[in-house]
Structure 1
Amino acid sequence: MRRPGFVATAGVAAGAAVLLLAGCGQRSASDTGSGPATAAGAKAPTAATAPPGIAELQAQQDALFPEVAARCAGVSTASAPSPSASADVAGGEPDDPWARKYAENHAYRQTVDLSPQSRCRGDAHAARITTALRATGRAAVLGEAELRAELDRLGYPTRGGEVHSSGGTVGFSLWIPGSGPCLTGTLGAIPRVQAHGSYLEGGCNEPQGGH
């Protein structure tokens, strides 16, 4: 015995499936260049909205920090070699089993090597921040909110966990606006700020891991 309701429902579903299949692979002229849809109906970046390239990011950074650009003008932009997974972190011979084991256990702490240009710019930014913090005359007693405000004033916006406290010491780890690299600093009577590449696991904050 047939059930009319079931047949009708099945027919509607089959029709919808046919329409969906018919639409696959077909795009109208108005769709050209619109890019695939992503979650929540958002569209993926297109050529017009794609992230800027390295040259454009560098130009943006130069505009934000002209004194840094002037200091590092003419420094080589050659890329540094990628760090090896078997790099000797302990300082022993690469074929030393203990050294290899140590390197494997601490690989999460490795950072991307900086090119001479990135190193120059990073060191210039580190010196700039250090000078500004020391000029406050109270770097050792700045709290997280005060440090965040000072970094924002200097042109290094903080939005999340860039500023933090550990063991009573206030510090920060952030990505230099534009093309990087990373800066990590701690406050004290003498503020200490250093430039480094991003960690191999991503980001400027040292990953918590290893075994």
Structure 2
Amino acid sequence: MSRSTHVWCPRCGNHGGMSMTKSTGVRVGVVPIAVLAFFAAGCGSERPGTETPAGSPSRAAAVEPSRPGAPKRQVDFPCPGETSGPTPSASAGPTGPAGPPADHYAENHGFKDPIQLHGQRRCEGIAAVKRVKNALEPLRVRKSIDLESARRALASLGYPATGVEVTKVEPGVSFLINASPLCIEGKVNPHFVEADAFGGYPDGTGCEPPRGGH
């Protein structure tokens, strides 16, 4: 709303004058719109309670989709009757600066390393080793160790004769049991009984180690 005011001007004469228009009104709606724009700028797209705490992974990082075709990793856990938990595997990454090229014997003969057991299969291997040791312990105590007595002791556990291989190794006997998917090998002599379970070889057939090299 405007109001016109007449102001006398000496230089303009009695009849001169200068008109001034004084605005006394207020533009309606200018301030409310500015206020609304201010509050709108301060409001984000996040709703209360959805803020990501500091140091926490984002939703995209927390949910990592499994890659198709990726092998399922088996987790080791304490087995029944095991006095100590599973030994953590060593890291496969390099721990020091790269040195000069070394002998490739280990790399070329790695296919001869037995496959380690993990998960439930590891527990089955521990149980099988315990049964084998218990069956061979009487032979060690009596010091009556030969191929036939060792074969009979292992056959009493239910292993087929075709899956048991015994070899004379003074002063005792070594053995290899093919109980697929488990393999059990060891030896018995007057001093001790040892046995170990594994899952075959990367390039082997059954429980027999592969021959040759890469």
Structure with greater strand share of residues: 2
Structure with greater helix share of residues: 1
TM-score relative to the length of structure 2? 0.47
Of structures 1 and 2, the one with the larger relative CO (CA 8 A, separation 6+) is 1
TM-score relative to the length of structure 1? 0.48
